[in-house]
Amino acid sequence: MYQLMKRFLFRLDPEAAHEQVTGALRFASRAPGGKQVLQLMYGYHDKRLETRLWGTRFPNPVGLAAGFDKNAEVYHALAALGFGFVEVGTITPVAQQGNERPRLFRLIEDEAVINRMGFNNLGADHAAQNLSRYAAANVPIGINIGKNKHTPNEEAARDYETCLDTLYPYGHYFVVNVSSPNTPNLRDLQQTESLRKLLEAIKIKKDEWVQRGEPSKPILLKVAPDMTDEQMRDVIQVALDVGLDGIVATNTTLSREGLRDAETSRQAGGLSGRPLTARSTEWIREIRQEVGDKLPIIGVGGIFDGDDAYAKIRAGADLVQVYTGMIYQGPGIVQAINKRLIQLLERDGFSSVEQAVGADAR
């Protein structure tokens, strides 16, 4: 079915196709029995896939990465597609249009996408209204937060604090996004001292909620794949020093190495999809070796099937996320990955997916 839909969708501008898909999911989530139909079609459950992190149960390790549901509008329908968790955003304090269109490009030969969206979203207050029913999704919801384009870096902490303050009641975990290549100078916040000050400010804001009696919720850092080994070690050390709760590895890349689509590859923006598969897996392995068991890792980048997901899990990822893979493979990707994971766990003698985490990094 998706292959027929894909022929239609791939004739559209990529962003227009995305809007068509989110519109269909919005309809499904509101139609009587719509979510139940999606669950019957795409759901898959096996207790061996369950993961517990931060006191939260994830029914399976396959989540949806940030960028698809920017305004937290269709996460109920996405959860019904079988995802073990859904990450919404990136959300900024104030609504912004993002960069000018066109800003999303397919590289079909490479099974990749280039985007320079620029954190287009309707703002934290709008997302908070949409997230008021987040518990009904029945899977953990992550919230990815960023700064507005025109906020100078020296005032960036205020934007992240505002997002956390507005959205804290609604997320199971939060991701600090300082690694998108599409907001000017954002990646400068990954520099050691800037990052330390930012993360310390965010932790203080979280502690204020805890002191008011709210549960402590994990704060994760999403890192770029384009840093040197030394830069990555510095970033990870800051995360450990500040007491963060996890790492998301990795964001999109600025590299264009090895691409077949010479024309489209000249577009500015972050590259995701198949070309990032090996690079992100290697970063996960290096981060796992660096942090040991001190920090959970969410692995993302170029996951198209169960073997890709399993490689990241064995490299050290506790959970994984897909996005570009779903564009090319369709909504059945989650079920297919989970079924394949069970086969691979049985092959290697693991009784649960948690046992496989970091098997290749030890």
Average pLDDT in the chain: 95
* 145 vs 7, higher pLDDT: 145
Q: Return the sign of the alpha-carbon dihedral for residues 335, 272, 191, 119.
A: negative
What are residue 278's phi and psi, to 5 degrees? -70, -40
pLDDT for the residue numbered 185: 85
Element (H, E) at 125: helix 124-130
- Percentage of the chain beyond pLDDT 90 is 91
What are residue 112's phi and psi, to 5 degrees? -140, 170
pLDDT for the residue numbered 316: 98
Q: Which two tokens stand for residue 166?
A: 């507005």
DSSP helix/strand/coil, 193? helix
pLDDT for the residue numbered 283: 96
Residue 190 confidence class, pLDDT cut points 50, 70, 90 = confident
- Percentage of the chain beyond pLDDT 70 is 100
Non-local CB neighbours of 101 within 8 Å, separated by 6+ positions: 15
How far apart are alpha carbons 51 and 281 in whole angstroms? Answer: 20
Nearest alpha-carbon partner for 237 in 300, 302, 191, 271 = 191
How far apart are alpha carbons 327 and 6 in whole angstroms? Answer: 9
Torsion of CA 144, 65, 56, 78, to 10 degrees: 110
Query: Which residue(s) pair with 96 in the sheet?
Result: 121
Answer whether residue 186 shows pLDDT above 90: no
- Average of pLDDT values for 288-312? 97
Check if the beta carbon of residue 185 is closer than 8 Å to that of residue 155: no
Positions marked active-site: 180
The tally of CA atoms less than 13 A away on the side-chain side of residue 162 is: 18
CA-CA distances (angstroms) from residue 224 to 44, 84, 227? 32, 24, 7
Answer whether residue 135 shows pLDDT above 90: no
Rounded to 10°, the helix 34-42/14-30 angle is: 110
How far apart are alpha carbons 165 and 217 in whole angstroms? Answer: 12
pLDDT for the residue numbered 116: 97
Domains and CATH numbers, the chain: 2-356 (3.20.20.70)
For residue 96, give the DSSP letter.
B
Nearest alpha-carbon partner for 203 in 169, 263, 245, 170 = 245
Residue 173 confidence class, pLDDT cut points 50, 70, 90 = very high
Answer whether residue 1 shows pLDDT above 80: no
- Average of pLDDT values for 69-75? 96
- Average of pLDDT values for 110-121? 97
- Average of pLDDT values for 238-244? 95
Answer whether residue 32 shows pLDDT above 80: yes
pLDDT for the residue numbered 57: 97
